[in-house]
Amino acid sequence: MGRPSDEDERAAAHARLFCPALVRAVPRWLARLGVPLSHRADVAGEVWLNAWESWPRFDPKRGRPERWLNAIAVHVAAHYHERLQHRREELVDLIEVADPAPDAAATMESDSIRTGTLDAVNELDPKLRFVLVAHDLDGVSMAQIAEDAGLPLSVIYKRRTKAIDALRDVIGSRENMEDFARRMGPQ
């Protein structure tokens, strides 16, 4: 019975190195080395990456794989702390964010537009107003409106088109009257 070959020793070292107990040991070592919990998983990843990359140079005759991996962990943790000292945070002034709530003038203008639109809708012929309100304001499907009214779907679509055109005319004539009144001013 002779001494195990180099390949056998490396295979045994590989099995000892990449076992679950040692995988769990690396984060404990890093904790003792002062690596914060929030960065420990990333630093442990660097330890294992360095171990994997340097594995071809590992010589089992020079020491146990656990001690070799621990030396890598110490080295990586030291570099982590060096980089930590050189990090700089640049503080900037607070950015002013516009208030998302509308101001009083915008609220009044919105209310005025809403009231004017509702008044314009109320000026429409009742048959046209019914289709426009049911479909565009209440969200009723055109097919359902046609069924409820007992009319062909094509008639409902034509009425909606007429209602939209009539609404544009009413709003346009109101705007023209307001422009005329503004131009004439108080006399």
Count of structural domains, the chain: 2
Same domain, 135 and 176: yes
Same domain, 68 and 123: no
pLDDT score at 73? 94
Neighbours of 110 (CB within 10 A): 11
Same domain, 65 and 22: yes
On whether residue 105 sits in a domain, the answer given is: no
Write down the pTM of the prediction.
0.44
pLDDT score at 160? 93
Is residue 30 over pLDDT 90? yes
Confidence of residue 72 (pLDDT cuts 50, 70, 90): very high
On whether residue 98 sits in a domain, the answer given is: no
Tell me phi and psi for residue 34, to 5 degrees. Answer: 85, 15
pLDDT score at 181? 76
Same domain, 82 and 13: yes
Confidence of residue 177 (pLDDT cuts 50, 70, 90): confident
Average pLDDT over residues 43-54: 91
Same domain, 122 and 174: yes
Is residue 43 over pLDDT 70? yes
Mention every residue, 6+ apart, whose C-beta is less than 8 A from residue 164. 132
- Among 27-31, 72-76, 101-105, 169-173, name the one with the lowest average pLDDT: 101-105
Long-range contacts of 77-82 (CB under 8 A, 24+ apart): 77/29, 77/30, 77/33, 77/34, 77/35, 77/43, 78/33, 80/35, 80/39, 80/43, 80/46, 81/34
* CATH code of residue 82: 1.10.1740
Chain segment 83-101, per-residue pLDDT in tens: 877 666 666 777 776 767 7
Average pLDDT over residues 46-54: 90
On the CB side of 129, CA atoms within 13 Å amount to: 11
| More confident call, 74 vs 106 | 74
**What range defines the domain where residue 177 resides?**
113-184
Is residue 112 over pLDDT 90? no
The size of the chain, in residues, is: 187
On whether residue 108 sits in a domain, the answer given is: no
Cα–Cα distances (Å) from 20 to 23, 91, 164, in that order, read: 5, 43, 73
| More confident call, 83 vs 161 | 161
* CATH code of residue 138: 1.10.10.10
What do you get for the CA distance between the two ends of the chain, in Å? 123
| More confident call, 79 vs 185 | 79
Same domain, 22 and 79: yes
